[in-house]
Homo-oligomer: A and B are copies of this chain.
Amino acid sequence: MQGEPEVAVLRLGHRPGRDERMTTHVGLTARALGADRAILAGDASKSEGTVADITDRFGGPFEVELTDSPKAVIRDWAGRVVHLTMYGERIQDVETTVRECHADGEPILVVVGSQKVSFDVYEAADWNVGVTNQPHSEVAGLAVFLDRLFEGRELDREWTDADQTVVPRATGKKVVPADEE
């Protein structure tokens, strides 16, 4: 988020034709819950387009990009790397340390896999973190991790250059042009 060290989300293992929705949801969740950037590995141009389109309509700042070299992204990251995996240490045991590193100025790269993640990612990460040690969803794990990293501040972030804004309502839907907010 603005005024904080960068938080980026790296999505590994995208399989075109199979993973479009999951990868899109990873990207949209990263954007909605306070990350600054999503980096999608492999041929994920369709998901990239959807995330960019949402950013155009609902605001930023948020970047989405593709990479053919996810391992280089991890290796060259100038900060700390968190790999979310059901095999990792419990989030409740490591979140304070990660939060302190981020507060001390360290950019955080959050790595989320798809089906199978190679062992060198486990070794390259500063922390392997489990949002529970149960099998569920990389999207759910990312969401809980970001909400805890930012301690809810992401829910109050402001959006710039939006075309439209949703106005919270008890019932029904209200969407207004962004400049009428």
Contact = CB atoms under 8 A, between A and B. Distances in A.
A103 interface: no
Q: Which of A54, A128, A148, A167 is the most central at the interface, judged by chain B CB atoms within 10 Å of its CB?
A: A128
B134 A87 contact: no
Copies of this chain in the oligomer? 2
A132 B119 contact: no
A105 to B, nearest CB: 24
A38 B52 CA distance: 33
Contact of A173 (B87, B173, B175): B87
Given A92-B155, A144-B144, A132 B22 contact: no
Interface of A: 21-22, 25, 28-29, 31-33, 54, 58, 86-93, 119, 122-123, 127-128, 130-137, 139-144, 147-148, 152, 154-156, 159, 165-175
Given A32-B134, A32-B135, A147-B148, 17 more contacts: A25-B137, A25-B139, A31-B136, A33-B132, A33-B140, A58-B134, A88-B170, A122-B171, A123-B171, A130-B166, A131-B155, A132-B154, A132-B155, A133-B167, A134-B166, A140-B140, A147-B147
